[in-house]
Amino acid sequence: MLSLPEFHGRFPVGATTFKLPVSTKVLGTAKIHRHGHSDSGPSVKPALQLDEVVFTAYYPAQVEGSNMKKGLDWLLRSVLENFHLALMAYRIPVYPNAPLLRQRPTVSPEHTQARSETPPSSWPLVIFSHGLGGSRTAYSQVCTRLASSGRVVLAIQHRDGSGHAFISLTTEPRLYVREKDLIWISDDEKTMLNFRQQQLAFRRHEIYLAFSSFKQLVQDGYQGSNHGLQSIDKKFIDWSSWSSDGDTKAVECEKDVLLAGHSFGGATFTILSTDPPADVSAPIPIHKALILDPWLEPIPFPGPCPPPQEPGDALPQLLVINSEKFSLWKDHFARLIGVVQAWEPEKRRVLTILRSQHESFSDFPLLPLVSRRPARIVMDRIVELSEAFIDGNVDTFVDQVATRKMEIRIVGKKPDGSPQRQLVGEVGELIDNRLLLMAPPKSNPAASDTFIPLFKSIGLSQAKAAEAAKNAKSANILCNLIVSYDLTETRLDEKQATLITALAGQLAKTESVEPSEQDFAVKTILQGKLKSVDQVNAAVKYLEISKAPINELEFDTECGVGEIHITSEELHDAVTSYIRENAVTGWPNLGSVISGVKASPALRWANPLEVKNAVEKSFTEIFGAKETAKPKAKDPRKEKAAQPTAAASETDTGSSSSNRKPVFEEGFLGALHKPGENPQTRAELREQHLRATDGQVWTRFPPEPNGYLHIGHSKAIFVNFGYAAHHGGKCYLRFDDTNPEKEEARYFESIIEVVRWLGFEPWKITYSSDYFDQLYDLAIELIKRDKAYVCHCTQEQIKADRGEKISAPKACLHRSRPIQESLDEFKKMADGYYRPKEANLRMKMDLTDGNPQMWDLTAYRVLDASHHRTLDKWKIYPTYDYTHCLVDSIENISHSLCTTEFIASRQSYEWLCDALDVYKPRQSEFGRLNLQGTINSKRKILQLVDEGYVSGWDDPRLYTLIALRRRGVPPGAILSFVSTLGVSTAASNIQIARFEQTVRQYLEGSAPRLFMVMRPLKVIIENVPDDYLVMVDKPFHPKNPQLGSSQIPFTRTIYIDADDFRLEDSKDYFRLAPGKSVGLFQAPYPITCTSYKSDSATGEVTEVFCRLEDSGTPPKPKAYIQWVAEHVSSGSPVRIDETRIFHPLFKSDNPLAAVPDFKADINSNSMEVIKGAMVEVSFWPLAKQSIADALEEARARSAKARAVPGAGSHCDADTPEIKPEQLVGKECVRFQGLRVAYLAVDSDSRLGALEEPSDVAPGIRQGDYLVLNRIASLKEDAGKGM
């Protein structure tokens, strides 16, 4: 037998395990599969079934004069024999079933001095709750050490399926309950969060029962084998040692109980804010709470809070000891700090122990054969802090030991390549988080719930009230406006309520509007002078610069109050002037001209219809009648991109006019040279090149494989692949793999996959490393021509000689060394003679030139790194400046197209080709693409990933191409966006809104439309029978019959969106209300609301009862709403587990300008998750067909690309092969939720039907989990339900 470490404290420690049989009680509705059930018995059982309460008591033991031996099984019962056989060999060094010590020994002077107290007349009580995967013995080190210092510790064995030793007398052993093990009875509870809360309720029950039964034992003594606590085994127990003796209680149960727990067990201190269960009479007198590395994630945000206090009551003192691991978990740690801030400052403490892990608080790191000194140091510190806290000396103890402020350092890389972070300090040192607790609490997302009923009271819908409550600052201002102006009694209509909300949002952005000016703005809204959000925004801007007293005439003019009369002549002149000044080319620009004219200051408040009519009249006068325009080209989005030119043709027609030249024939790209026109040093070089290319355009896309591609790369891909395809040429995908220290295999595969996902097939996939031998030979040739030399200067000296790019450069002292000497030194570099930075091969260029790119650039450097393809063959690697132009030359590139940051490099590019007398491609530079309000820096995105701001490089809030793909953005929409921008030498700095508008336009005609309700409200049609069923034929798109149609059920029970029902009707409201009729899209008849049912506690409507107007002449509805029907046999409706609504990740257009860094600009409300939405049952066949069509297209395209003569990927095994299946993901399932948004299925979804053969009817399967991403909002109703 192996024994855990023994701790020699003040008292020997005994351990007795008690059990309390109870009547079987089931909590919650979740069930679990019965292990090894027979065919005759039930296959499932309740997941949370209580039939006995078990706990082990650790306590000071009476062992003098006895021959008792130490040794308690670390696992008291076998769970799975093979799995736990080894663990059963471990023993805890305590005296099993020893009597409780009743006669206090004399306390030694050193103990008295150290603890400044005498032994108590009654032992104080500690209740310990274990974490997931733990047990009543898994924390024996903490429990026995506390017991050895004079305490009785009750370690509860939770029977909630959370422990590795979980066992019940009436059921067989079972392990840690996981989500996939559960069977849900009610869809409303089908979340792991609900189950965790049920587990906490179960644990609360166990803790109260354990405490009350133990208290009864202490007060009344042992009641016999049929009542109260029993021994879990048949060994003798001295029951009398636990009983009180007269006025002397064995254990103090009436006051000052300490509650302790680890991880999920730490979450059990939520019992502080709850009353005892009904079958337990008295509460637990909690005096202190010791929380070890609590896991808050299973608890609804924000977490446990102190209970409401009666006068004279005192909150328990709280100490949280956090692990280093959980302290580095940024979001969780911030949440913990927010929870603890709810406690009174003098009663709270959060400490972090350096080098501690989450499991450091249990026995696992101290088990024999695995124990290490750091683990023992951490355990000693945990117990020291715990005892100091219990004794009331924690502040003194912390002051006496080494403490640090929280500093983080990078100590290496994780297996996924992300940085490995660590806190600065030594094992066992403490970080005192007192200053963090003193900081003002951050806004609490859950607190917004308290605003919603108030905001709804002024006339806002549920959705708009929830949206208004998200921003804490504007929500507080709106709350103040409602209270100050008594708006709940003013009976605003929804439009006025929206304007007041908009005013609060604008006031939150400024501090320049005084109370008197705010009062003026509110009154203009209530008086009906301000009628639009645009006017409210203008009013706030005016009030910022124009102080009281307000010039009302000037205010009315600036804000469009009253009748703004503009003559038709003035309007016509303004429109004509706008067209002339902006060089408008024709009818395709109609929409942008209308928007631009309306945005001009002079016409801002003009009647929109009059503006539209004036613009159309001017267009007719200038460009002729609209009908005379040439018919639009066939929409290429409906064509399958089966070859490289397909993507190019798609983007060619992406311009706004059908008679406009393709983007590859105008502007920058239209002015490029023809193949063979790029100058050469010798005519033979041109002739050789043209023979090799057959006079075609040959381009290349040359990414560095050190990160994921982002939206800016899509332009480079489009330009290089599209330009070649448009001219019938070829495009390489070439990896610039000259820096092995930063390259990773995952980037190679991702880049290939993204290029093909965008619709392009590389003619060949090559690597710069394919040409390492040729590049090395060319470097030797360069030296022989006295155009290169080996330099041994330090990096600092090289920078100084180059003048730091601000002064004239100086020649390196090695520049004039003999050619042979440089040849010898270069060979030594290649042979590994030099370490990195000890030698470089530099090109001997022109130091008199004004271009720093001509100041002796480095061609080769020494790197001590293994290459992914050449392994350890090379000790030297070429630089980009040396490699790029030469590989372009070797591959006979006709057009080397790159972005404008390489303009200065064009001179060195041409110099090197001429110096070696090789074919010289022509480099041409175009402006790069930047999206405002995003970041594309690999380093900064990595920070966001590592620090938990986003879930990964494919988080749909990012603008990496894999993130856009996951969000559901079609590749054709990205290419259309790039195409419409055009290509020039100017950088394109584009707002996100323009990108999303392009995506919206692309999806408008191509995305099927499905009925969808985001927040379902049940509607029962009372005048039809229970089995009423009408199958409704419904097209997927009203204007695109090629998308097909479906049949959906219409039944007695349907669901509508909660926003489509209102209790109070108004003349400008046309949807459903009591006594009002409304149409249902595609349904045979309208419905009329006859009554409704609401929640008595909240007043929220839960059901609506309606009449189907199917007799006589039905009323003509003024509006139609969408719906989904409940029809079990057809699987209707489809329930969506999560709908993720993405908002901008950053608050401003320029996150890099934020102070102190870009992270200060992060929008904390950038993702909204809506649970429980519903969509029509046609979703299933549509999803399956979408995947099948996409897969068929990918296979056809791949086959066609392979058939091109000479084409193909790299022949070696190092090149990832991207199969057609990898180009087809769940994001291919896209649709428009009618009046909601454009949506796509997220990769987190589990949809069994998509994995089944084509002949199997699709539908929901066991274990399915459906997640939708919002691709883009709808232009017509962007805020609907969002």
**What are the residue numbers of the active site?**
704, 928, 938
Say if residues 686 and 677 touch (Cβ distance below 8 Å): no
Contact 1020, 1105 (CB under 8 A): yes
Beta bridge partners of 1088: 1077, 1107
Closest CA to 1080 of 1015, 1147, 1139, 1011: 1011
CA atoms within 13 A on the CB side of 1258: 20
For 771-901, list the strands marked E by DSSP. 788-791, 840-843, 858-862, 876-878, 895-899
Residue 633 identity (one-letter amino acid): A
Please state, as a whole number, how many other Cβ atoms lie within 10 Å of the Cβ of residue 914: 14
Q: Apex CA 36: angle with CA 33 and CA 42, to 5°?
A: 55
Please list the alpha-helical segments (H only) found in 917-970: 938-946, 961-967
Total residues found in the chain within this entry = 1282
CB atoms near residue 522 (< 10 Å): 18
- Here the tokens at position 166 are 């979980």
Complete edge-to-edge strand list for the sheet that includes strand 44-46: 44-46, 31-33, 182-183
Q: Token pair for residue 1092?
A: 């409704």
Q: Which residues contact 913 (CB under 8 A, 6 or more apart)?
A: 885, 886, 889, 919, 920, 921
Those residues whose C-beta lies under 8 Å from the C-beta of residue 129, and which sit 6 or more positions away, are: 156, 158, 203, 207, 259, 260, 261, 262, 265, 266, 268
Output the CA–CA distances (angstroms, integers) from residue 508 to 518, 537, 547, 933, in the order listed: 12, 12, 18, 21
Does an H or E element contain 438, and which?
Answer: helix 434-438
Secondary element (H or E) of residue 503: helix 494-507
Return the structure tokens found at 292.
């070890």
Residue 967 identity (one-letter amino acid):
R
- Angle between the N-to-C axes of helices 608-623 and 590-599, in degrees from 0 to 180, rounded to the nearest 10: 130
Buried b (16+ CB within 10 A) or exposed e, 170-182: ebebbbebeeeeb
Region of residue 383 (left: phi > 0; alpha: psi -120 to 50; beta: else):
alpha
Measured CA angle at 1168 (ends 1167, 1172), to 5 deg: 145
- Count the neighbouring beta carbons within 10 Å of the beta carbon of residue 1162: 18
Rounded to whole angstroms, the Cα distance separating 47 from 160 reads 8
Q: Mind spelling out the 3-state secondary structure of 220-287? A: HCCCCCCCCCEECCCCCCCHHHHCCECCECCECCCCCEEEEEEHHHHHHHHHHHCCCCCCCCCCCCEE
251, 122 Cβ separation under 8 angstroms? yes
Quick one: tokens of 144? 């026995």
What tokens appear for 593 in the block?
Answer: 């001209």
Q: Which of 873, 871, 886 is nearest to 917 (CA)?
A: 886
Q: What's the rounded Cα separation, in Å, for the pair 935 and 711? A: 10
> Sign (positive/negative) of CA torsion 274, 276, 282, 284?
negative
Sign of CA dihedral 1256, 1261, 1262, 1266: positive
H or E stretch at 573: helix 568-581
